[in-house]
Amino acid sequence: MTEHSAGPPDEYVEAEIHRMLAEDPAVAEQGITVVRRERGLVLYGEVESPHRREEILRRVSERFPDVPVTSDIGVIRTQAPTQVEELP
Amino acid sequence: MIRIAAVGDVHLDEDVVGRFRPALEELPDCADVLLLAGDLTRHGTEAEARCVAREFGDLGVPVITVLGNHDHQCDQVPQVVKVLADAGVTVLEGTGTVLETPGGRLGVAGVKGFGGGFAGRCASDFGEPEMKAFIRTTNESAGALGRALRGLDCDVLVALTHYSPVPDTLAGEPLEIYPFLGCYQLGQAIDSAPTALALHGHAHHGTERGTTPGGVRVRNVAHPVIKQAYSVFHLGGRDHLD
């Protein structure tokens, strides 16, 4: 028997988190990348509000309390464009 | 010259309302129309559609959209379409519309599209019923886009989809998920008409520029890709198709 340890997450945990990000109605993000690093998982990507960024980390930590997760998720800028593309 | 503003994948809900508005207020000065490439909402609820209507309503320029996969999540498509239509937004699904602009008549044909994959690496109409249903959805969607494009009488023709018609604009996404991001049949439909520009979203990690096999310019305007409220394209006007 093997006990569940707090070691590096395996591929199944990564897959489960990736699916949760899309399927959990509180998250519903398909554009977040889950990357396994030696010390845990890192979440990359961009979302539409700071609230969503916080919610992602909260939901993942809540569901996988033993998995060390860090977030490098950005909020997409919404400034008006300064240039146009000419398509003759 | 016709000025087209475009963005996709804005995924609106209460927490995003107001973020785009300052940039959108500038639209009448820089564009003749705003095209939205689907995924307007997070889950496709009527309440989220009302957020879209608040953010993208009363802009001073016509707004034309297709829906995306997120807009289908809660099975409330008729309600979502009604809220958008009531706000003056034209929703295309296998249909087209022609706008009179100072630069000429702009024709826009749109469809959500679907996955399926790209030439030589795509799903086939073969095997289990589920597989056949998948690819038939792809074929029907692309067929509807082609018919809508060929049916428009205009000076400049633009195709609007959520899923990608080419693999070029997916560069940056994992190769393994390309079949879920678009299909070559949409490109084929775009190439079946004198299309000047094809706009799509859906691929958040993709890249901006590509072309169809027939040489039509394709732009991925997903918000995470363009990293601004919208992009603006200037398209050659009345003489473009002469």
> What is the domain-level CATH number for residue B19?
3.60.21.10
The residue of chain A with its CA nearest to that of B180 is: A30
Residues 6 or more apart whose Cβ sits within 8 Å of residue B144: B93, B94, B111
d(CA B93, CA A61): 40
State residue B236's pLDDT score: 86
Beta-strand relationship, B121-122 and B117-118: antiparallel
Task: Give the residue, A12 or A76, on which the prediction is more confident.
Answer: A76
In a domain, B241, yes or no: no
| Paired residues of B173 in beta bridges | B171
State residue A38's pLDDT score: 83
CB neighbour burial string for B87-122, b if at least 16 within 10 angstroms, e if fewer: bebbbbbbbbbebebebbbbbbbbbbbbbbbbeeeb
> Residue A21's domain spans which residues?
11-74
In a domain, A80, yes or no: no
State residue A7's pLDDT score: 57
In a domain, A54, yes or no: yes
In a domain, A82, yes or no: no
- At A37, the pLDDT band (50, 70, 90 cuts) reads confident
Average pLDDT, chain B: 96
State residue A8's pLDDT score: 59
Overall domain count for chain B: 1
In a domain, A83, yes or no: no
The residue of chain A with its CA nearest to that of B204 is: A31
In a domain, A38, yes or no: yes
- At A2, the pLDDT band (50, 70, 90 cuts) reads very low
In a domain, A17, yes or no: yes
3-state helix, strand, coil in chain A (%, to 5): 30, 25, 45
State residue B14's pLDDT score: 96
Which residues in chain B come in under a pLDDT of 50? 238-242
Residue range A72-81, pLDDT digits in tens: 999 999 999 9
State residue A9's pLDDT score: 65
Of B229, B231, B236, the CB nearest to A78: B229
Q: In this structure, what token pair is assigned to residue A75?
A: 């909020």
State residue A36's pLDDT score: 87
In a domain, A6, yes or no: no
The count of CB pairs under 8 A between chains A and B is 75
Query: Given a cut of 50, is residue A87 above it in pLDDT?
Result: yes
Location of structure tokens 């919208």: B230
A chain contacts of residue B33, beta-carbon cutoff 8 Å: none
Q: Which residues of B have a CB under 8 Å from any CB of A?
A: 3, 10-12, 15-16, 19-20, 22-23, 26, 30, 42-43, 70, 73, 196-197, 204-205, 217, 219, 223-224, 227-236
> Residue B29's domain spans which residues?
2-235
In a domain, A45, yes or no: yes
In a domain, B111, yes or no: yes
Domain CATH number, residue A62: 3.30.1340
d(CA B141, CA B139): 5
Check CB contact of A54 with chain B, cutoff 8 Å: no
Of B43, B73, B228, the CB nearest to A79: B228
State residue B157's pLDDT score: 98
Are the C-beta atoms of residues B71 and B80 closer than 8 Å to each other?
A: yes
Overall domain count for chain A: 1
Q: In this structure, what token pair is assigned to residue A3?
A: 């006990």
